[in-house]
């Protein structure tokens, strides 16, 4: 039986993201984990919505279900797959404004296929990367939608965008001047006027969700990473990729950040924001790990191999620590992998291995002695909680909103200055060479600290945040609508 404080508000529940990548990272892991907790502890079903055009979502969903990332009560719904199977009535068609010029099926265009059937054709600019037009097709080959970029000035990237939706016979039925109105029309159809809750995780999706305001839909945005262009200056400018949304945060019914310090910094920069709340990532606890199975020098990294994660610092620090018993297993994928492999080869440290992306990488945490977290910009990494819960002690760079908000230096982890490889190497040596009893005391403290992030506690925080967001949503509606006109479908 669900505890009343854990039960989530009734209605349709959605998680909104841009894509589910094959080698997905912490944000998607957190979204999936939260959705499972909503089903298991909150008593609601959750549909995860994606908006990208990858052609193999049925396979993606099957893999996620096999790994129990998707469970009963969770769905994975993609915009284009949904449109292939469902009509989208309403709206208007204006082919004078919205240009309709489908690609020649016999033209030399890039295609995306599923089971031998073409789902899209794409015409690129001369640079080979800029999309000028993409046409989407149903499984029977009929034209579904034509998306023409640079519609008013043909073949010029950055021009207006014409979106034309077709019926099963390929006849145009609706059109839009941009892609965001199509996204919002789809959301209107999915919610169908029912009380609905949308939690927006990806920053890409947040850009078009910031303007999505409907009487029956409560919209919340989760900020998974730092919003700062300069991580050391809380009063500094927003990251350019976040500026559009962060200048409009008051248009969400609630904004969720992962740490109190990020909330404090945001309010110091832009003034009080009543919709701002703090809900960290959660972890589902299993049995206590067996400490005797961990070599003291067994290190692990779980991170995307991107510049922001600075995995090269972890590699250099392990090499500089100079301890023969040290090993470092690196799990993750990204554009810097070849560069990092070359660095390992150049340093000649046999104990450092790059394993690439592994869906079960987190299962290695109970056997690892310490986690290296070297990112330069964080929110509150899910892997940090998972490592501490497994008794895998974090050794991390002291950056805003991540490790520095969770780790008590010297008690349940170690913090070092950002970008200081020498200090990181020293912390690794300190941890590996400390007496066994002190190291085990640190492991117990890390696991105890992680209990603050149990699923049960975090779902209760979400239940409270959703109800508070609904209250703000109703107040905003009543401010613009006479009481007798207020919609009866507003979430409660």
CA-based diameter of the chain, in Å? 77
374-386 pLDDT tens trace: 987 666 778 888 9
Answer whether residue 204 shows pLDDT above 50. Answer: yes
Q: What is the mean pLDDT of residues 328-332?
A: 95
Lookup: tokens for 223: 């900020």
Q: Kindly state the average pLDDT of the residues 72-88.
A: 97
Q: pLDDT above 70 covers what percent of the chain?
A: 92
Read off the pLDDT of residues 248-265 as tens digits, 9 standing for 90 and up: 999 999 999 998 888 998
Mean pLDDT of 330-352: 93
pLDDT at residue 232 in the model: 63
pLDDT of 477 reads: 83
Mean pLDDT of 357-374: 92
- What integer is the mean pLDDT of 127-151? 92
Mean pLDDT of 29-44: 96
Res. 424: pLDDT tops 90: yes
pLDDT of residue 229: 77
Query: How much is the average pLDDT of 322-333?
Result: 94
**What is the average pLDDT across 172-186?**
95
Could you read off the pLDDT of 299-315 as tens digits, one per residue?
999 998 988 889 999 99
Give the pLDDT band of residue 325 (cuts 50, 70, 90): very high
pLDDT (mean) for 22-31: 90
pLDDT of residue 152: 55
Q: What value does the mean pLDDT take over residues 68-79?
A: 97
pLDDT of residue 156: 43
- Reported as a single tens digit per residue, the pLDDT across 428-477 is 999 999 999 999 999 999 999 998 889 999 999 999 999 999 999 999 88
CA 491 – CA 488 distance, rounded (Å): 9
CA distance 62 to 82: 17
Does residue 49 contact residue 15 with C-beta atoms inside 8 Å?
yes
Please spell the DSSP secondary structure of 17-57, one letter per residue. Answer: -S---TT--HHHHHHHHHHHHHHHHH---EEEEE-S--S-H
Query: With contact defined as beta carbons under 8 Å apart, do 382 and 303 qualify?
Result: no
Q: Is the pLDDT of residue 155 over 50?
A: no
pLDDT for the residue numbered 487: 46
Residue 380: predicted pLDDT: 76
3-class DSSP state for residue 255? strand
In this structure, of 11-20, 180-189, 269-278, the range with the lowest mean pLDDT score is 269-278
What's the mean per-residue pLDDT of the chain?
Answer: 90
């Amino acid at each position: 039986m669900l505890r009343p404080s854990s039960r989530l508000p009734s209605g349709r529940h959605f998680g909104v993201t841009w894509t589910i990548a094959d080698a997905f990272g912490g944000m998607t892991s957190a979204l999936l984990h939260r959705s499972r907790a909503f089903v298991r502890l909150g008593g609601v079903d959750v549909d995860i919505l994606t908006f990208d055009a990858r052609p193999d979502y049925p396979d993606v969903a099957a893999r996620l279900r096999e790994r129990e990332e998707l469970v009963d009560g969770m769905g994975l719904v993609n915009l284009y797959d949904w449109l292939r199977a469902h009509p989208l009535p309403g709206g208007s068609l204006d082919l004078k404004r919205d240009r309709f010029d489908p690609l020649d099926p016999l033209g030399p265009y890039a295609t995306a296929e599923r089971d031998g059937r073409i789902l899209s054709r794409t015409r690129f600019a001369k640079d080979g990367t800029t999309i000028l037009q993409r046409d989407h097709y149903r499984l029977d080959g009929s034209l579904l939608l034509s998306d023409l970029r640079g519609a008013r000035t043909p073949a010029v990237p950055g021009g207006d965008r014409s979106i034309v939706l077709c019926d099963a016979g390929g006849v145009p039925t609706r059109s839009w001047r941009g892609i965001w109105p199509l996204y919002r029309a789809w959301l209107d159809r999915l919610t169908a006027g029912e009380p609905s809750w949308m939690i927006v995780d990806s920053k890409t999706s947040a850009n078009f969700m910031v303007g999505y305001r409907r009487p029956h839909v409560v919209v919340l945005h989760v900020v998974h990473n730092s919003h700062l262009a300069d991580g050391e200056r809380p009063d500094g400018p927003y990251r350019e990729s976040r500026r559009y949304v962060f200048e409009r945060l008051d248009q969400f019914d609630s904004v969720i950040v992962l740490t109190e310090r990020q909330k404090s910094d945001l309010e110091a920069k832009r003034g009080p924001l009543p919709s701002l709340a703090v809900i960290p990532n959660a972890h589902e606890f299993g049995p206590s790990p067996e400490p005797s199975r961990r070599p003291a020098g067994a290190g692990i990294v779980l991170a995307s191999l991107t510049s922001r994660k600075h995995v090269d610092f972890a590699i250099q620090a392990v090499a500089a620590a100079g301890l023969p018993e040290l090993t470092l297993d690196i799990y993750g994928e990204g554009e810097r992998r070849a560069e990092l492999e070359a660095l390992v080869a150049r340093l000649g440290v046999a104990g450092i291995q790059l394993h690439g992306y592994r869906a079960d990488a987190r299962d290695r945490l109970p056997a690892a002695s310490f986690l290296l977290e070297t990112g330069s910009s964080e929110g509150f990494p899910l892997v940090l909680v998972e490592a501490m819960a497994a008794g895998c002690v974090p050794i991390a760079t002291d950056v805003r909103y991540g490790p520095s908000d969770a780790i008590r230096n010297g008690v349940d982890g170690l913090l070092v200055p950002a970008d200081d490889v020498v200090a990181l190497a020293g912390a690794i040596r300190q941890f590996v060479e400390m007496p066994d009893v002190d190291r085990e005391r640190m492991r117990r403290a890390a696991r105890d600290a992680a209990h603050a992030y149990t699923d049960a506690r975090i779902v209760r925080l979400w239940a409270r945040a959703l109800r508070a967001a609904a209250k703000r949503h109703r107040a905003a509606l009543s401010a613009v609508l006479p009481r007798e006109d207020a919609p009866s479908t507003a979430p409660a």
